[in-house]
Homo-oligomer: A and B are copies of this chain.
């Protein structure tokens, strides 16, 4: 027989066991028809580690001040309906008690987190980190935090990142697609829902989602025209994935320039790659075998252009006399390589800034601008062309 006292009638007799709930014995008192479990009174002072330091809340301040939580909230949020005296008292109290508002609770009730999500293909490529820098700068100025997600140029990672970010926590999403990305179904299901989206740099042109683009068409056109003016006729061009806007648009600019100058477009001079060193080398070797010989190479990225220059140097092919080389992006390295790299400055930081501005504008005004915005760039002539 268990020697247990009923907490209701205070009796010891007539108490039966009545099952076990979560590893604890349950009892039943016959006399007062009452089920109970012996509850161990917890020691409230069991502050095990230092992290247990609780943040002061509105409740704490209200208790000390002898006021209601509402009043304290009013005082700290500069609301009307409060006297200047109590306001000051509360504010002083809050500062001495080192009060910091709980942003999570605020977010829950306001349904706004002041956080932007950014999905980019890589952090170790200058253009992307530069764009991210631009995004962060504008976001920080507007009081937004930035959560980053790196897709590592992998389509599946991009999808996973999208899911993770879309769950909650963010007010808006900025996305720059993977080199691999050819289908955009994962994005489509989020369009027009709770969270606004902006695409930047690498975008899906036909998606009804606001987009910020570098001046790909004009850039490629200017570069090609410059090379033609310099006497080049067999101009090769290195492109990325076919489904990406940067490949399409830059190819478009390239073609426009050729057509304007009555030069036939030769498909053997076009090459779509994924920017690995092997594929770059493969492309050059194929081009070098052609006759008549090519006299210029335009690369869609500075990184590849630099590798091209190095390869040509190794093969004792003079740049720019035999083959002129043009890059895209104006990365740091281009200025210091010999011969220094001519390139088109896509103004990547500004692309990031504009993307951030666009989404913040949409968040504030609730107005979507679907017309693609193009960020102007400029051609930079150095020794390689």
Contacts and interface: CB of A to CB of B under 8 A. Distances in A.
A53 interface: yes
A101 B168 CA distance: 8
A130 B194 CA distance: 33
A194 B150 contact: no
Contact of A133 (B100, B105, B123): B123
A150 B168 contact: no
Contacts of A149: 140, 145
Contacts of A12: none
A51 B146 CA distance: 21
B102 A168 contact: yes
A150 B133 contact: yes
A147 B192 contact: no
A105 B108 contact: yes
A100 B147 contact: no
A337 to B, nearest CB: 4
A322 interface: no
Given A49-B366, A51-B366, A100-B167, 8 more contacts: A51-B196, A53-B194, A100-B166, A123-B132, A126-B129, A145-B147, A146-B147, A333-B337
Interface string A82-125: 00000000000000000011111101100001010000001110
A55 interface: yes
Main secondary structure of the interface of A (DSSP, over half): mixed
Nearest to A164: B145
A49 B107 CA distance: 20
A140 B50 CA distance: 27
Interface in A35-94: 49-51, 53, 55
Nearest to A48: B366
Greatest chain B CB density within 10 A among A50, A103, A336 is at A336
Greatest chain B CB density within 10 A among A101, A147, A148, A310 is at A148
Interface in A126-140: 126, 129-130, 132-133, 136-137, 140
Contact of A167 (B101, B126, B194): B101
A338 interface: yes
Nearest to A341: B336
A126 B123 contact: no
A169 interface: yes
Given A115-B147, A146-B147, A169 B53 contact: no
A147 B149 CA distance: 10
Contacts of A24: none
A271 interface: no
Contact of A336 (B101, B132, B310): B310
A150 B137 contact: yes
A150 B122 CA distance: 18
